[in-house]
Structure 1
Amino acid sequence: MEKEKAKVKSGNVVDFKVLKRLFQYAKPYIKQFYLLVFLTIFLAILTPIRPILVQKAIDEYVPNGDYDGLVLMITILIGHLIVLAVVQYSHTYLSGWVGQTIIKDIRTKLFNHLIRLKLKFFDKTPIGRLVTRNVSDIETLSNVFSEGIAALIGDLLQLVFLMGFMFYLDWKLTLVSLSTLPLLIFSTYVFKEKIKVTFNEVRNAVSNLNSFVQEHVTGMNIVQIFNAEKREMDKFKEINREHEKAHIRSVLYYSIYFPVAEIIQAIAIGMAVWYGAREILVDASVGPGVIIAFIMYIQMFFRPIRMIADRFNTLQMGIVSSNRIFDLLDNDEHMADEGEYAPEEIKGEVEFKNVWFAYNEEEYVLKDISFKVKEGETIALVGATGAGKSSVINLLSRFYEINKGDILVDGVNLKEYDLGALRSHIGVVQQDVFLYSDTIRHNITLGNPDITDDKIAAAADLVGVKKIIDRLPNGYDYNVMERGSTLSVGQRQLISFVRAMVYDPKIIVLDEATSSVDTETEELIQGAIEVLMKGRTSIVIAHRLSTIQGADKIIVLDKGEIKEVGTHQELLDKDGFYSKLYNMQYKEVAAI
């Protein structure tokens, strides 16, 4: 498994181009965002008022014995705290709401983009990495809005207002109190740079971990069949160890930085108390309330600076995640869907004209393929594994683009068809049936509300699976679990037939549709296949040559080239490729 490389950039923490693009998603909620900015500013102004109120109470009312004035000041202080609490609640809730709402939109857009990418993209991209992009990376983005930009602006504004109030009370005491500030700024910068690298390592470790777990849980049967549990466990331990090391490094930096910051803050408070007490003893130029207010201000002042490092790293991680997400969104490996031809009905005539196709450039798996299937005709594609049979049907449904040549349906080039309309007329039954962890009904209809229960039951009865489904707990509401694990291979295959039939396609493609079922089940669906093919153009791929003897035409493929075309008997009479394949299978059956 290819590991992602950490991309740690030095220099500017904030990539404004990425932020500008990211904030395009905030436009639908611009009023809420402006309200959040207003609350941030209001909070920054409101917070520094409390120490001033405490100072006035101590220096103006307590020495004079003004009880009524003291009660009034305490009442104002309580009112201030209540207002502050309401504003903080509103700010926290609104920032969370804005962040989660925006990432909901981004996640929807990303998933919508993913489901339209070419299958070629998924052939070369680990699924676990895509899961990380759609879940973990996007979740990181929410922090950009809830704990990044707004909180960072709030912290900076709060520092400005705090410094203003401090200079208002006593400028000399302010300079003494903030004399340790350069040391704190330096330690914060070092911490920010170290933790930025660590956070990149953590994100990459999470992506690698997701990819490994997803692949191995999906392919667990292979791990157990080949007794590879220990080897794969060792690989997992190594990946998990890298994940652990990355997290521990971040914990180490936090465990160093915060105690250092506390010590620097304690020194600042100590210097403020020392200088303030000296002023009181020498010429009483300051009161005790000023010292208490400064102690509160120093605590308020140092907290945002400590948090700014976290804010910057939250912002940096959001930008890293944004880059990954935008790289995926900018991927243009979409199947071109510029056609507008969308007929409600088609005849089902299919023609390949000099088609060349390669999954990788110049490594052609189909070479100059030409054939024609008339309306209602059945053709069979046969050949050894890797001959190109499945590639033919993948191209017919436009899962991949051809390199050269043309493919026509009813005489119209596939590129002129609306992609959705084209695929709605083609029913595919694959060898490896995929069922979702959902009910049988959903796996048949795929959520299409136009397919009624009566239509499902009629198709199931035609295939011969209706009685089997009726015997299951909850019938059509039976949950087949992930990949249909609670059903037999034959049952999954039969359900895939029902799924193809309810959409009533004009062109039917059977890709090794009976190769994974037992003889009894095969006999059960053979009759259904004949009914399914009736009146439809059918393209059949089969290793069992006995199942396609009645085809109107058999095309023999070898290494991507058409070697022979004809009926079953015509090809046997030629004594060529097909004859050899047939005789080989006949001998295998006879030996059994």
Structure 2
Amino acid sequence: MSKETNSQRPGGPGPGGAFGFRGGMMPVQKAKDFKGTLKRLISYLKPHRLQLLAVLITAIISTVFSIVSPKIMGKATTKLFEGLMLKFKGVPGAKIDFDYIGQIIILLIVLYILSAIFAYIQQFIMAGVAQKTVFNLRKEVDEKLNRLPLKYFDSRTHGEILSRAVNDVDNISTTLQQSLTQLITSVVTIVGVIVMMLTISPLMTLIVVVTLPLSFVATASIAKKSQQFFKGQQKALGQLNGHVEEMYTGHKVIKVFGHEKKSIEQFEAINETLYQSGWKAQFVSGMIMPLMSFVNNIGYVLVSVAGGILVTKRSIEIGDIQAFIQYARQFAQPITQTAMIANVIQSTIASAERVFEILDELEEIPEAVNAKVVDDPNGEVSFKHVSFGYEEKEMLIEDMNIDVKPGQTVAIVGPTGAGKTTLINLLMRFYEINSGTIFIDGIDIRELKRDDLRSLFGMVLQDTWLFNSTIRDNIAYGKEGATEKEIIEAAQAANADHFIRTLPDGYDTILNEEASNISQGQKQLLTIARAILADPAILILDEATSSVDTRTEVQIQKAMKHLMNGRTSFIIAHRLSTIRDADLILVMNNGSVIEKGNHKELLEKDGFYADLYNSQFSGHNQIKDAG
């Protein structure tokens, strides 16, 4: 599957890397509505107001303790310097006051421990807030995806939906847990450091502040340049994930048609694009730290010169210079972090916007308020003046009328794209009709709950769907709370019991992810057993024997005959020889039912169906003669 979770955070010592900051995470794109999305994202944090207040308070206390430490340490330096100078001048009884210095060191240790404790509390609370917030967001996205119509999934790639539901939510989670606390700490540090520097020397503070515009200009210009490279990197990363997912899920087809070389060439081309964008993005963004260090070093030189002059004039003490240089260094770090966090927040808001786009998608039409229930389904189906189009301007089905009596077998035939599968999608309300009505036992399907409607159907498709579990669980999927006896009886009715018992673990045999440890025919028998266990009123069969050998086909046909007995059945037919006995054959072309009748009646009409039927059998005879 498409996994971008780790890949979206390029490694390497990006900007701010020295502070454990996600320097490589530049914005994928800018949010279309930054303020609106930010406000909506903040609304998810409102239930945690008290915890956020606690985070703010602990962040302030932790930062204050770490900020006052350099000035206290400066006093120890001053005391040490004064003692050394007195001894150097030969003052009788002169000595260094180690008791005073020791007291300061103990005080500093206590302050640093308290700072670390409050920082731990801050991170602990924020981790809980972040995870609860993202838990609720993930839950909303999951519930929303369950309410979205099939149309939404058909019009988007799996990778795109996965990226929004997993990677974008993960991006929000990381930002809430890391960047938000860093932002609070950085702002408090900037304010606190400025206050402490002003208490030492307004002149030196002015020198440090004057160098700030240079830092901002340098950071902004590089960030702007690197953003386009990061955007290209994310685009290439999405293409690479999509390609890998597609190649992995279709690896058998690739091998059958010998497309390994082409697939590798495509991968290498996308990978090269990703490499080029990636190293440029990392290199350009990585220039921020050296450039910031250069600007800061200029500030240090000016501060040192000014400090030396002030010491000679006895305006400040020697320890104050040491403390001030520490503050200047502390001042540079949160400035850099704040600049980079601004980029991360931009990326996070863009991710949030993509997630909110899912949450704002048009949902399925709400269930009927006073929904009806088909208590004893007979399987009568009617299409009355049904019209449908995937796009409103392009109608696929127009004014369709079909009447199917209970227990009838209805075959739907026609060329590819004729609308056979569309008809089934409409019947099960995977898509909503534009006009007209579909009835089941005289009830408009829109008056039924979707779950109740779909519970009336059993499906056996050409492409079998089995999941990674035991054979017993796969069959039992057809009925909630199915007993062992019911499972075995369903398997026997589907002619699957014999082959299941020949397997090493019988019904406890675990199917792998693709169920490739049993044959195609055995897979189909299991899906028929599942449908028999579900005991549906209406069956939908999509030519289940098209990819199996003749002997297995006979077994499947027997199982299907047992399954279809007494039930209304819709068969999407590809091989017309399998539907000769159908009560009603619907011949579809370009979304319309162009012919109706049984096999004999349609052959006598000598129309579209007759041409299809004769073309299949003439082709069969030609092959036979050639053999």
What is the TM-score of this pair, normalised by structure 2? 0.86
2:40 aligns with one of 3, 10, 21: 21
- Paired AA for residue 308 in structure 1: T
Contact 2:182 / 2:337 at 8 angstroms: preserved in 1?
Answer: no
Q: Within 5 Å, give how 1:376-415 maps onto structure 2.
A: 376-415=407-446
- Paired AA for residue 338 in structure 2: I
2:318 is aligned to: 288
Contact 2:66 / 2:111 at 8 angstroms: preserved in 1?
Answer: no
Distance verdict in 2 for CA 1:197–1:572, change over 3 Å: closer
Q: Per-residue displacement from partner, 1:432-485 (whole Å, max 9, x unpaired)?
A: 223334443444444975233433222122111123233334444434333333
- Paired AA for residue 325 in structure 2: I
Q: Per-residue displacement from partner, 1:392-417 (whole Å, max 9, x unpaired)?
A: 11111111122222111111111111
- Paired AA for residue 201 in structure 1: G
Q: Within 5 Å, give how 1:14-53 maps onto structure 2.
A: 15-53=34-72
- Paired AA for residue 351 in structure 2: S
- Paired AA for residue 207 in structure 2: V
2:358 aligns with one of 321, 328, 335: 328
Q: Structure 1 residues 438-447 or 326-335, which shifts more?
A: 438-447
Contact 1:59 / 1:287 at 8 angstroms: preserved in 2?
Answer: yes
Q: Is 2:250 aligned against 1:257?
A: no
- Paired AA for residue 304 in structure 1: P
1:91 is aligned to: 122
Contact 2:573 / 2:579 at 8 angstroms: preserved in 1?
Answer: yes
Q: Within 5 Å, give how 1:122-137 maps onto structure 2.
A: 122-137=153-168
What CA distance in whole angstroms lies between the structure 2 residues aligned with 1:476 and 1:289?
Answer: 80
What CA distance in whole angstroms lies between the structure 2 residues aligned with 1:350 and 1:366?
Answer: 17
CA-CA distance at 1:40 after TM superposition: 2.5
Q: Within 5 Å, give how 1:500-539 maps onto structure 2.
A: 500-539=531-570
Q: Is 2:218 aligned against 1:187?
A: yes
Contact 2:475 / 2:530 at 8 angstroms: preserved in 1?
Answer: yes
Distance verdict in 2 for CA 1:447–1:75, change over 3 Å: farther
2:600 aligns with one of 546, 558, 569: 569
Root-mean-square deviation over aligned CA pairs: 2.6
Q: Per-residue displacement from partner, 1:169-202 (whole Å, max 9, x unpaired)?
A: 2222322344422211221222333344443333
- Paired AA for residue 17 in structure 1: G
CA-CA distance at 1:375 after TM superposition: 2.0
Contact 1:202 / 1:246 at 8 angstroms: preserved in 2?
Answer: yes
Q: Per-residue displacement from partner, 1:379-398 (whole Å, max 9, x unpaired)?
A: 22223333322221111111
Q: Is 2:268 aligned against 1:237?
A: yes
Q: Is 2:389 aligned against 1:358?
A: yes
What CA distance in whole angstroms lies between the structure 2 residues aligned with 1:586 and 1:255?
Answer: 70
Q: Per-residue displacement from partner, 1:356-393 (whole Å, max 9, x unpaired)?
A: 22233444433322111122222222233333222211
1:146 is aligned to: 177
Contact 1:192 / 1:309 at 8 angstroms: preserved in 2?
Answer: no
CA-CA distance at 1:323 after TM superposition: 1.7
1:57 is aligned to: 76
What CA distance in whole angstroms lies between the structure 1 residues aligned with 2:272 and 2:128?
Answer: 35
2:347 is aligned to: 317
What is the TM-score of this pair, normalised by structure 1? 0.91
Contact 1:107 / 1:138 at 8 angstroms: preserved in 2?
Answer: yes
Q: Within 5 Å, give how 1:87-486 maps onto structure 2.
A: 87-280=118-311, 282-332=312-362, 334-338=364-368, 340-446=371-477, 449-486=480-517
CA-CA distance at 1:89 after TM superposition: 2.3
Q: Structure 1 residues 161-170 or 201-210, which shifts more?
A: 201-210
Tell me, what secondary structure is at the counterpart of 2:238?
A: helix
What CA distance in whole angstroms lies between the structure 1 residues aligned with 2:409 and 2:241?
Answer: 45
Contact 2:478 / 2:533 at 8 angstroms: preserved in 1?
Answer: no
Contact 1:147 / 1:311 at 8 angstroms: preserved in 2?
Answer: no
CA-CA distance at 1:77 after TM superposition: 0.9
What CA distance in whole angstroms lies between the structure 2 residues aligned with 1:345 and 1:67?
Answer: 95
Tell me, what secondary structure is at the counterpart of 2:499?
A: helix
2:571 is aligned to: 540
CA-CA distance at 1:156 after TM superposition: 1.4
What CA distance in whole angstroms lies between the structure 2 residues aligned with 1:518 and 1:200?
Answer: 51
2:5 is aligned to: none
- Paired AA for residue 312 in structure 1: A
Distance verdict in 2 for CA 1:407–1:526, change over 3 Å: same
- Paired AA for residue 298 in structure 1: A
CA-CA distance at 1:584 after TM superposition: 3.6
2:581 is aligned to: 550
What CA distance in whole angstroms lies between the structure 1 residues aligned with 2:115 and 2:577?
Answer: 81
Q: Is 2:105 aligned against 1:74?
A: yes
CA-CA distance at 1:335 after TM superposition: 4.9
Distance verdict in 2 for CA 1:546–1:254, change over 3 Å: closer
CA-CA distance at 1:34 after TM superposition: 2.9
Distance verdict in 2 for CA 1:253–1:404, change over 3 Å: same
Q: Within 5 Å, give how 1:573-584 maps onto structure 2.
A: 573-584=604-615
Distance verdict in 2 for CA 1:254–1:362, change over 3 Å: closer
- Paired AA for residue 73 in structure 2: V
Tell me, what secondary structure is at the counterpart of 2:45?
A: helix
Distance verdict in 2 for CA 1:447–1:350, change over 3 Å: closer
Number of aligned residue pairs: 584
Tell me, what secondary structure is at the counterpart of 2:304?
A: helix
- Paired AA for residue 59 in structure 1: T
Tell me, what secondary structure is at the counterpart of 1:360?
A: coil
Q: % of aligned pairs identical?
A: 36
Contact 2:28 / 2:230 at 8 angstroms: preserved in 1?
Answer: no
Q: Is 2:517 aligned against 1:498?
A: no
Q: Structure 1 residues 472-481 or 182-191, which shifts more?
A: 472-481
Tell me, what secondary structure is at the counterpart of 1:434?
A: coil
Tell me, what secondary structure is at the counterpart of 2:135?
A: helix
Contact 1:129 / 1:208 at 8 angstroms: preserved in 2?
Answer: no
Tell me, what secondary structure is at the counterpart of 1:483?
A: coil
What CA distance in whole angstroms lies between the structure 1 residues aligned with 2:28 and 2:336?
Answer: 25
- Paired AA for residue 309 in structure 1: A
Distance verdict in 2 for CA 1:94–1:452, change over 3 Å: farther
Q: Per-residue displacement from partner, 1:276-310 (whole Å, max 9, x unpaired)?
A: 22222x23232221111112111111011111122
Contact 1:196 / 1:316 at 8 angstroms: preserved in 2?
Answer: no
What CA distance in whole angstroms lies between the structure 1 residues aligned with 2:470 and 2:52?
Answer: 42
- Paired AA for residue 35 in structure 1: A
Distance verdict in 2 for CA 1:581–1:251, change over 3 Å: closer
Distance verdict in 2 for CA 1:85–1:382, change over 3 Å: same
Tell me, what secondary structure is at the counterpart of 2:518?
A: coil
1:3 is aligned to: none
Q: Structure 1 residues 406-415 or 581-590, which shifts more?
A: 581-590
What CA distance in whole angstroms lies between the structure 2 residues aligned with 1:439 and 1:28?
Answer: 43
Q: Structure 1 residues 473-482 or 408-417, which shifts more?
A: 473-482
Tell me, what secondary structure is at the counterpart of 2:120?
A: helix
CA-CA distance at 1:229 after TM superposition: 2.6
What CA distance in whole angstroms lies between the structure 1 residues aligned with 2:436 and 2:340?
Answer: 57
